[in-house]
Amino acid sequence: MTSGVPFGNYQYEIYLGGMAGQVPEHPMSWAQWEAAAEAKLDAGPRGYLFGGAGTEDAMRANLEAFRRWRIVPRMLRDVSERAMGTEILGTAMPAPVLMAPVGVQSILHDEGELASARAASALGVPYIASTAGSHTLEQIAAACGDGPRWYQLYWPRGEELAASFVARAEAAGYTGLVVTLDTSLLGWRPRDLTGAYLPFLESVGIANYLADPVFRSTLPAPPEEDPQAAVGQFVGVFANPTVTWDDLAWLREQTKLPILLKGILHPDDAREAAARGIDGVVVSNHGGRQVDGAIATLDALPGVVEAAGDDLAVLLDSGVRSGADAFKALALGARAVLLGRPAMWGLAVAGEQGVRTVLRSFLAELDLTLALSGHTSLESVGPETLVRA
């Protein structure tokens, strides 16, 4: 809740505007947002945002998994007062919702991550900054102001560079480290392949590298003088397919921040994470962008939650498209959801205001779903609130 006002009251603001002859400037349905973003973007960025791996089967499966669970609302309960606020690994948030790490956002809007970070922070929604940002993590931290923020690490080749990213994130006030594990190589993405479109090769989305003292020390000339050499070096260090479980001990020593592993889909991997002193996991298949045919995250969630027990905070992303979807993930044991593509539709269509409207709508839907299903807080939302369709 922001200043004690339930998020659901957003609708009254809109209807009151209607009495004064105003209708919302932005889309109010998710389908309209998606269509507006699709229409606005050029082919390259459009394919990058909307595309998935291979036949895009995992991307579809993520959405379909949510349709297979239905909410069973309960009646005659006082739902006038509601609280959605929560705290995860020391970070307080007004609702169990965070912005998923999304890189290279300047291909969607000129202000890129800065617009998204400002929109999230204005609502107190934690912003997860990607290593592959179009702006540096320090610039994004400044855009967040006092807003909560976590840093997402793509574990690069070279311990010194990895340590530098982590140290910079700590210094810039990030309070959680999300290590994305599912991108040890880039997935096979036909839409991007068709246009031979990879923005990083045009120096877009590599700001964190170009600004990094360790990265710069490995270059024959500063990136400002020889951008091609910097891109070449980036290509060599970006992905690190050699990383294994044993390397986590090294990472654990680098930082006091809570560490979450993003991309966990198997219960045994959750158990391994807990045994290695990890604090949380994000059940994710990268929005179906990495392994075509991968298990839908909502299908993977119950097994991971059971394996995690009380040892790990379990979060989920991939396919969350509405407040109802968030409710279902929370009911099946996720502590919070990460919002990915829908926030980027907002960014593409209307920059900071677009992301803000998307987030407010999403939070309003979640609050109203909670209330209208008979709940006043997240604690009472368990698996018994759902049935298999």
Kindly list the residues in this chain that would bind ligand FNR in the complex (CB under 6 A): 48-49, 100-103, 130, 132, 152, 180, 262, 284, 286-287, 317-320, 340-341
Question: What's the closest the beta carbon of residue 312 comes to ligand FNR, in angstroms?
Answer: 18
Tokens of residue 180, six digits: 């994305």
> Active site residue: 109, 135, 266, 286, which one?
286
CA atoms within 13 A on the CB side of 44: 13
Q: Tell me which residue has tokens 């994710």.
A: 284
Instruction: Compare residues 7 and 30 and give the one whose CB is closer to ligand FNR.
Output: 30
DSSP per-residue codes, 233-279: HHHHHS--TT--GGGHHHHHHH-SS-EEEEEE-SHHHHHHHHHTT--
284, 337 Cβ separation under 8 angstroms = no
Instruction: Compare residues 43 and 275 and give the one whose CB is closer to ligand FNR.
Output: 43
Instruction: Compare residues 168 and 262 and give the one whose CB is closer to ligand FNR.
Output: 262
Instruction: Respond yes or no: is residue 286 known to be catalytic.
Output: yes
Cα–Cα distance for residue pair 249/193, rounded to 1 Å: 36
Instruction: Compare residues 86 and 180 and give the one whose CB is closer to ligand FNR.
Output: 180
Nearest to 228 by CA among 218, 241, 219, 237: 219
Question: What's the closest the beta carbon of residue 279 comes to ligand FNR, in angstroms?
Answer: 17
The span from the first CA to the last CA of the chain, in angstroms, equals 31
Question: What's the closest the beta carbon of residue 62 comes to ligand FNR, in angstroms?
Answer: 6
Question: What's the closest the beta carbon of residue 41 comes to ligand FNR, in angstroms?
Answer: 11
Active site residues: 286
